[in-house]
Amino acid sequence: MIPNQRHLFDLPDDVAYLNCAYLSPLMHPVITAGLQAVKRRAQPWDIAAEDFFTTSESVRSLFARIVDARPDDIAIVPSASYGIATAARNLSIARGQSIVLLAEQFPSNVYAWHEAAKTSGAEIIAVPRPSDGDWTAAVLAAVTERTAVASVPNCHWTDGGLLDLAMIGRHCRRLGVALVLDITQSAGVLPFDANEVQPDFAVAAGYKWLMGPYSLGFLYVAPKRQEGEPLEHNWIARAASEDFAGLVNYEDRFQPGARRFDMGERSNFQLLPMAEAAMRQILDWGVSAIADTLAHMTASIAERAGALGLDSAPEELRAGHFLGLRFPAGVPADLLDRLHAEKVFVSVRGDSMRVTPHVYNTEADIERLFSVLEAAQV
C-alpha cells in the first residue's frame, strides 16, 4: 500500500476530489516542470536542436515502461481520438466484416469506427452491457471470424467494468482479428503488459491516470504495424531530421519504429516536461502498488455504499481504481449540486456515479462523500 501522497498535490483540505477519471490534479513537481518549461521557452537561444529530441525520447521511454513495451513502439500523440484515427487508417476493413465496440463506449473510440464502417461497408457491433457484468465473455462471443477489428478499453469509462485484455488478445490473434485499445482510463493505474496483450494499437490520453497535462497522449504501435501510414507528414518524423540544415533534402524514409506516427510538433517544450515529471512519479510509486492501494480504497467505499442501497459491480468484474455506483431509482437530479456545495467532486456518466480516487484521497474525503449521500437519503 502506498501511504497517502496528498502533500505532493495542490489540493486544499476542504476539497474531496474523487474524480481522477475526469482530470487528474497536477503534482507540485509537474507544476514546477511546466513553469520552468514556459520560462525556458521564453529564451529560445537556450533551446538547442537536440532539445527537439531528448525530452521526446525520455517521455517515450517512460510511457513504454508503464505499458511494458519498447520505446520504439511508442508514438507521441495529442489525444485518444488521434490514436484511434491512426489505427483506423492502418487496418483493412472490408464490406461484410464487423467492427466490435462496447455499448456506451467513449466517443473518441467510436466515431472513427462509424466512419470506417461507412466507407468500407462493414457493420458496427456495439456489445450490449452484459446483465451479469462480464464484459470479457460478451466481447469473446461477439468477436468472430467475420470481425475485422475489436476496439475496446481495459475498463468501461462509465463504471469501471473490467475486460480481460490478455484473454481477448489471444482470441483476436487466433481469429486474425486486429485489436485496438483505448487505455485512457487505465494506463498508469492498472498493470498492462503489451507483450502479453499484443494489441495492434493502444492509445492513452495523458491527463487522467497518467497525471500529466492536457493535449498529450501516447500510442503503442505493434512492431508489425510500424511500416504503416501516419495521419500527417511532418518533418521530424522523417529520417535524419536531427540535421536541421539538411531538412531541405527531403527524405522518404522515416525515423525508426512508431516514431513515424508522432504528431506534428511533438517536441512540445511546455507539455513534455510535465508529462515526464508525472510519469517518473507514477513509476516511482509503481503501477501495481497504485492499483492495490486504490482497489482497497474503492472496496471500502463500495461496501459502505452498498449499505445505503447503492449497487456496484463485484470486485472481480470491475477495475480496482474505478467505482460506478448505481442508485435504485437513478442518480438523484440534485445530487451533483449537493456534492459540489460540500466540495465533493465525482462525476455522473450514463446511469452511474463514478467515484475515482487516487493516492491523494484521505479518509476525511470519503467521510465527506458519505455525509452528503447519507443526508440525501438516497
Ligand X SMILES: Cc1ncc(COP(=O)(O)O)c(C=O)c1O
Q: Could you list the residues that contact ligand X (CB under 6 A)?
A: 79-81, 106, 108, 153, 157, 182, 184-185, 205, 217
Residue 277, Cα to own-chain centre: how many angstroms?
A: 17
Residue whose C-alpha cell is 497525471: 211
Choice between 108 and 361, CB closer to ligand X: 108
> Which residue lies nearer to ligand X by CB, 187 or 317?
187
Least distance CB 350 / ligand X (angstroms): 12
Shortest Å, Cβ 356 to ligand X: 10
Return the number of the residue (64 or 205) whose C-beta is nearest ligand X. 205
- Residue 14 CB, shortest distance to ligand X, in Å, is 26
Helix-strand-coil percent breakdown of the chain, rounded to 5? 40, 15, 40
Helix (H, G, I), strand (E, B) or coil at 323: strand
Q: Which is nearer to ligand X, 188 or 372 (CB)?
A: 188
For the bound state, the minimum distance from the C-beta of residue 81 to ligand X, rounded and expressed in Å, comes to 3
Between 81 and 97, whose beta carbon lies closer to ligand X?
81
98-102 and 123-127 strand pairing: parallel
Report the nearest approach of ligand X to the CB of residue 207 (Å): 8
What residues contact 347, with CB distance under 8 A and at least 6 apart?
19, 21, 22, 336, 353, 354
Helix, strand or coil, per DSSP, at residue 11: coil
Please choose, from the candidates 268, 294, 307, 309, the residue with its C-alpha nearest in 3D space to the C-alpha of residue 358: 294
Query: Considering the complex, what minimum distance in angstroms separates the CB of residue 208 from ligand X?
Result: 7
Per the DSSP assignment, residues forming a β-bridge with 219 are 75, 203
Under DSSP, is residue 36 helix (H, G, I), strand (E, B) or coil?
helix
How far is the first Cα of the chain from the last one, in angstroms, to the nearest whole number? 32
Closer to ligand X by Cβ: residue 114 or 174? 114
Residues 192 and 209: beta-carbon distance below 8 Å: no
